[in-house]
C-alpha cells in the first residue's frame, strides 16, 4: 500500500458503531473489577487511551516502525528520549538541531549526568570523529532548523550502529510522506506533530516512532506512564485527522516552496537561500536520494544585516510573523530573536514556512517586503 493511501486509512479501524470518523474517548478512567484487572485494555488515561492508541498505530505504519509513543509536545518527546539515556552516557548531537533541543540537552546533561558533543552532522567524518566508547545516542535533524541542511541518514546510521549507539532522527520538517528514516537505518524518529501532521495551528503533540529496539521502547513506555507526558485524546484525534490530508498538503507545500525559493534566489535583496530543492544547495543530490520531495521549509539571508532582515519581516502583509511551521498559512520568523542572546543563528536570517496560499501571492509579498 502506498503511503498516501496509508495516511488516509491508518488508525481508522471501525469500532462497534461502524463510524467512518474515529471516535474520541475523553474518559480519564475506565471501569475495572475489584482486583484492578484491565477488562478491555484500559484502566486510566495516563496509562493509555483508545484515541491515542489509534494515532500511535497510524504513525507506526506511516514511519515503518515497530511501535510509537505519543506525547503532549515534540519537546516532551525529546525530553523523554534524553532522560532515558543511562547516567554517564555520551550524546552526539547535530549542531543545527532545533535550538530548544540543544538547550534541553545541555541542561539535562548537566543535571542527570550525560555529556553532549555538538557536531556538523552533514559531514560523516565529523560524526565518526565525535564517537566515543561511551556514546549511546546520535541525534540528527534533517532537514535541519533553521539552515535546512541535509544529513546522510544511512551513513550516520551505519556509524551509530557500529558504535553501539541509538540513532535518533528528527523528521518534523520532512514527515513520513517525504522521508522514512527507519528504512534508512535509524532506530527512532521524532516528530513534532504540532507542525505538518496537525497542519492547522490548532493542536500540540509529539511522537517517537521506534524501530526494533525493545529495551528502549520498554524504558520509554514505563517512563511516559510515570511522568504523565501523554497526549490528550482531543490532541490525538486532531493529529489523526490531520494525517488524512498530509500527503496532498505536503505536495502543495513542496511545490510552492520550490517556486518561492527560486524567486528569492534571484532577488537582489537576498544574499543566500537555503532550500535543498535548489541545484546549488550543497546537499541537493543527497536530499534527492533520501527524500521524495524537498519540503515546505526554507530560510534566507537578507543583504544588509539584521536591521534590514527585521525591516523586511515587518513589511510582510500575507506571511505572518509567528513561531511554528507546517500549517495552512505561511509564516516568517527571525530565528535569532526567537532563540535569544545565546543564538548561534546569523542575525540576517529569516526562516519561512510556506503554507497553502498560491505561490505567486507569496512571492509578490516577499518582493515588496524585501524592496521596502
**CB neighbours of residue 113 within 10 Å:** 12
Q: Convert 146-185 to b/e letters by CB count within 10 Å (16 or more is b).
A: bbbbbbbbebbbbbbeebebbbbbbbbbbbbbbbbbbebb
pLDDT at position 233 is 97
Which H/E stretch holds residue 117?
Answer: strand 115-119
Question: Within this chain, do residues 61 and 142 fall inside the same structural domain, yes or no?
Answer: yes
Which H/E stretch holds residue 338?
Answer: helix 335-339
Distance CA 233, CA 46 (A): 11
Question: Within this chain, do residues 180 and 259 fall inside the same structural domain, yes or no?
Answer: no
The domain boundary, picked from 220, 244, 268, lies at: 244
CATH number at residue 89: 3.40.640.10
pLDDT at position 15 is 85
Return the C-alpha cell found at 227. 511522568
Mean confidence (pLDDT) of the chain: 96
Question: Within this chain, do residues 178 and 320 fall inside the same structural domain, yes or no?
Answer: no
Catalytic residue among 44, 46, 53, 308: 46
pLDDT digits (tens, 9 = 90+) for 145-186: 999 999 999 999 999 999 999 999 999 999 999 999 999 999
Distance CA 262, CA 251 (A): 17
The domain boundary, picked from 222, 244, 266, lies at: 244
Bridge partners (DSSP) listed for residue 71? 206
What's the residue count for the chain?
372
Question: Within this chain, do residues 159 and 66 fall inside the same structural domain, yes or no?
Answer: yes
pLDDT digits (tens, 9 = 90+) for 309-343: 999 999 999 999 999 999 999 999 999 999 998 89
Bridge partners (DSSP) listed for residue 258? none
Helix axes 233-244, 246-265, angle to 10 degrees: 70
8 Å CB contact between 79 and 109? no
Question: Within this chain, do residues 314 and 173 fall inside the same structural domain, yes or no?
Answer: no
CATH number at residue 344: 3.90.1150.10
Return the C-alpha cell found at 285. 543530490
Quote the percentage of the chain above a pLDDT of 70: 100
pLDDT digits (tens, 9 = 90+) for 39-63: 778 889 999 999 999 999 999 999 9
Residue 273 sits at φ, ψ, to 5 deg, of -120, 130
Mean pLDDT of 186-215: 96
- Specify the long-range contacts of residues 152-155, CB closer than 8 Å, at least 24 apart: 152/122, 152/124, 152/286, 152/290, 153/179, 153/181, 153/184, 153/185, 153/186, 153/290, 154/184, 154/185, 154/290, 155/124
Question: Within this chain, do residues 185 and 154 fall inside the same structural domain, yes or no?
Answer: yes
Catalytic residue among 152, 170, 348, 365: 170
Q: Is the dihedral of CA 157, 142, 58, 238 positive or negative?
A: positive
Distance CA 77, CA 68 (A): 11
Bridge partners (DSSP) listed for residue 117? 92
Question: Within this chain, do residues 183 and 287 fall inside the same structural domain, yes or no?
Answer: no
Question: Within this chain, do residues 220 and 266 fall inside the same structural domain, yes or no?
Answer: no
Residue 46: active-site member: yes
Cβ-based neighbours of 160, under 8 Å, separated by 6 or more: 138, 166, 167, 187
pLDDT at position 34 is 86
8 Å CB contact between 23 and 54? no
Question: Within this chain, do residues 127 and 236 fall inside the same structural domain, yes or no?
Answer: yes
8 Å CB contact between 354 and 256? yes
Is pLDDT of 35 > 90? Answer: no
8 Å CB contact between 87 and 115? no
The domain boundary, picked from 226, 244, 262, lies at: 244
Distance CA 124, CA 189 (A): 19
Residue 196: active-site member: no
Residue 49 sits at φ, ψ, to 5 deg, of -140, 140
DSSP-derived pairing of the beta strands 188-192 and 206-210 = antiparallel
Question: Within this chain, do residues 15 and 77 fall inside the same structural domain, yes or no?
Answer: yes
Helix axes 359-371, 246-265, angle to 10 degrees: 40
Residue 195: active-site member: yes
Question: Within this chain, do residues 83 and 227 fall inside the same structural domain, yes or no?
Answer: yes
8 Å CB contact between 236 and 52? yes
pLDDT at position 365 is 98
Question: Within this chain, do residues 224 and 276 fall inside the same structural domain, yes or no?
Answer: no
Catalytic residue among 42, 63, 96, 98: 98
Q: Convert 243-258 to b/e letters by CB count within 10 Å (16 or more is b).
A: bbebbebbbbbbbbbb
Looking at the structure of the chain, the number of domains it has is 2
Catalytic residue among 149, 195, 224, 292: 195
- Structural domain for 123, as ranges: 3-244
pTM above 0.85, yes or no: yes
Return the C-alpha cell found at 241. 485527522
Amino acid at each position: 500500500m502506498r503511503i498516501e493511501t496509508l495516511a488516509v486509512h491508518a488508525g481508522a479501524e471501525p469500532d462497534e458503531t461502524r463510524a467512518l470518523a474515529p471516535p474520541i474517548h475523553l474518559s480519564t478512567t475506565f471501569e475495572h473489577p475489584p482486583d484492578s484487572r484491565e477488562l478491555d485494555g484500559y484502566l486510566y488515561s495516563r496509562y493509555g487511551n483508545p484515541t491515542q492508541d489509534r494515532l500511535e498505530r497510524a504513525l507506526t505504519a506511516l514511519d515503518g516502525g515497530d511501535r510509537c509513543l505519543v506525547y503532549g509536545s515534540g519537546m516532551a518527546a525529546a525530553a523523554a528520549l534524553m532522560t532515558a539515556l543511562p547516567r554517564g552516557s555520551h550524546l552526539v548531537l547535530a549542531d543545527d538541531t532545533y535550538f530548544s533541543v540543544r538547550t534541553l540537552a545541555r541542561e539535562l546533561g548537566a543535571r542527570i549526568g550525560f555529556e553532549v558533543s555538538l557536531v556538523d552532522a552533514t559531514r560523516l567524518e565529523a560524526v565518526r570523529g565525535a564517537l566515543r566508547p561511551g556514546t549511546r545516542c546520535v541525534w540528527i535533524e534533517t532537514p535541519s532548523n533553521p539552515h535546512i541542511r541535509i544529513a546522510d541518514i544511512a551513513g550516520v546510521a551505519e556509524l551509530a550502529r557500529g558504535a553501539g549507539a541509538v540513532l535518533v532522527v528528527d523528521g518534523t520538517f520532512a514527515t513520513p510522506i517525504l522521508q522514512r528514516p527507519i528504512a534508512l537505518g535509524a532506530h527512532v524518529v521524532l516528530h513534532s506533530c504540532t507542525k505538518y501532521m496537525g497542519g492547522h495551528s490548532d493542536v500540540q503533540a509529539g511522537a517517537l516512532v521506534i524501530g526494533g529496539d525493545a529495551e528502549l521502547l520498554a524504558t520509554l513506555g514505563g517512563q511516559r506512564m510515570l511522568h504523565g507526558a501523554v497526549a490528550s485524546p482531543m490532541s490525538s484525534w486532531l493529529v489523526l485527522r490531520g494525517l488524512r490530508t498530509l500527503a496532498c498538503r505536503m505536495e502543495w507545500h513542496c511545490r510552492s516552496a520550490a517556486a518561492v525559493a527560486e524567486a528569492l534566489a534571484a532577488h537582489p535583496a537576498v544574499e543566500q537561500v537555503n532550500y535543498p530543492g535548489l541545484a546549488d544547495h550543497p546537499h541537493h543530490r543527497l536530499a534527492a536520494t533520501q527524500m521524495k520531495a524537498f519540503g515546505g521549509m526554507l530560510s534566507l539571508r537578507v543583504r544588509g544585516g539584521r536591521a534590514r532582515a527585521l525591516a523586511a519581516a515587518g513589511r510582510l502583509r500575507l506571511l505572518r510573523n509567528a513561531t511554528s511551521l507546517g500549517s495552512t498559512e505561511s509564516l516568517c520568523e527571525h530565528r535569532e530573536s526567537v532563540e535569544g542572546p545565546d543564538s548561534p543563528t546569523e542575525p540576517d536570517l529569516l526562516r519561512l514556512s510556506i503554507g497553502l496560499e498560491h505561490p505567486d501571492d507569496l512571492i509578490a509579498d516577499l518582493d515588496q517586503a524585501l524592496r521596502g
